[in-house]
């Protein structure tokens, strides 16, 4: 579903991605781990064309997006749902209107009853009921995160992209969001790519994990395989994950 082929990305003289290559099969939940500034979010933005690689190919569902124009990117972006680090809900719109926003914009053929049914189904998927008429500031931050996820899945994306989805959440809410990512990916049969620094989350729900450091892939594999890694950065991530479990 997604393929990076020797992708490099530079900003001026600073090279962020240094020849990255990996494939994401359809239906896989892939975590990309790394410390801050290692290029994780840059990688996500290249998939949807918000950034363009300096060189290399990025193939999304059979199409090389590396050199596509903005107009050519529109149908590719409609296949992708992006869940940002922060909920990014419209403060002046109710939760219902926030979730319905993308539907009304991108699927104008739906009548109002169909929109209501889709919104209700998506809020039910993320375990949010009875908040349709509330404003974002009237519900908790964790609930806002779930509403943001409902808005993303409402337009039926084939690919879900998550940028640090559990940042700023308490452990209980973090576990709930992780479980939602897993359940939605399986129920909706989406391909999910999760950028994170949290090995504990990755070990819990990932099919496969890639670890980035200074623009390179330093290790990758299943959660069980990564537990046996000898790479120092991976060992540090594992130590932090075990500490989180113990607390």
pLDDT digits (tens, 9 = 90+) for 43-56: 999 999 999 999 99
pLDDT at site 112: 93
Categorize the per-residue pLDDT at 166 as very low, low, confident or very high, splitting at 50, 70 and 90.
confident
In a domain, 50, yes or no: no
Q: Would residue 137 count as lying in a domain?
A: yes
Residue 31 maps to a domain: no
Domain-located, residue 203: no
Q: Is residue 36 part of a domain?
A: no
CA 159-62-183 angle, to 5 degrees, is 20
- Tell me the pLDDT tens digit for each residue of 98-155: 999 989 988 889 999 999 999 999 999 898 989 999 999 999 998 999 999 999 999 9
Average pLDDT in the 13-23 region?
A: 96
Confidence of residue 24 (pLDDT cuts 50, 70, 90): very high
Residue 98 lies in a domain: yes
Task: Quote the tokens at residue 31.
Answer: 């975590």
Q: Give the distance, in angstroms, between the CA of residue 97 and the centroid of all CA atoms in the same chain.
A: 22
72-113 pLDDT per residue, tens: 999 999 899 998 888 989 999 999 999 999 899 888 899 999
Strand partners, 55: 8
Confidence of residue 244 (pLDDT cuts 50, 70, 90): low
Q: pLDDT tens digits for 177-216?
A: 898 899 989 988 999 999 998 899 999 999 999 999 999 9
Residue range of the domain that includes 101: 88-156
CA–CA dist 57, 66 (Å, integer): 6
Percent helix, percent strand, percent coil in the chain, to nearest 5 = 40, 25, 35
pLDDT of residue 49: 92
> What is the pLDDT at residue 108?
87
pLDDT at 247 over 60: no
Q: Flag whether 208 is in a domain.
A: no
The domain total for the chain is 1
With respect to residue 35, please indicate whether it lies within any of the assigned structural domains.
Answer: no
Overall average pLDDT of the 6-35 stretch: 96
Distances (CA, A) of 231 to 63, 220, 244: 34, 11, 20
């Amino acid at each position: 579903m997604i393929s990076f082929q020797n992708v490099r990305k530079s900003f001026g003289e600073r090279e962020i991605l240094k020849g990255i290559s990996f494939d994401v099969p359809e239906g896989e939940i892939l975590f990309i781990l790394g410390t801050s500034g290692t290029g994780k979010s840059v990688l996500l933005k290249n998939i949807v064309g918000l950034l363009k690689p300096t060189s290399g190919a990025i193939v999304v569902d059979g199409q090389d997006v590396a050199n596509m124009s903005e107009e050519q990117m529109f149908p590719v972006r409609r296949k992708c749902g992006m869940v940002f680090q922060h909920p990014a809900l419209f403060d002046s719109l109710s939760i219902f209107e926030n979730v319905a926003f993308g539907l009304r914009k991108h699927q104008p053929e739906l009548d109002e009853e169909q929109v209501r049914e889709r919104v209700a189904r998506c809020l039910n998927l993320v375990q949010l009921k009875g908040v349709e008429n509330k404003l974002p500031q009237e519900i908790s931050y964790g609930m806002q995160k779930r509403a943001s996820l409902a808005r993303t899945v409402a337009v039926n994306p084939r690919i879900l992209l998550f940028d640090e989805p559990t940042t700023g959440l308490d452990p209980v809410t973090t576990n709930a969001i992780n479980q939602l990512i897993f359940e939605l990916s399986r129920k909706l049969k989406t391909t999910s790519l999760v950028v994170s620094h949290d090995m504990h989350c990755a070990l819990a729900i990932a099919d496969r994990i890639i670890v980035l450091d200074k623009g390179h892939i330093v290790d990758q594999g299943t959660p069980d395989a990564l537990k046996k890694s000898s790479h120092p950065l991976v060992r540090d991530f594992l130590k932090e994950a075990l500490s989180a479990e113990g607390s």
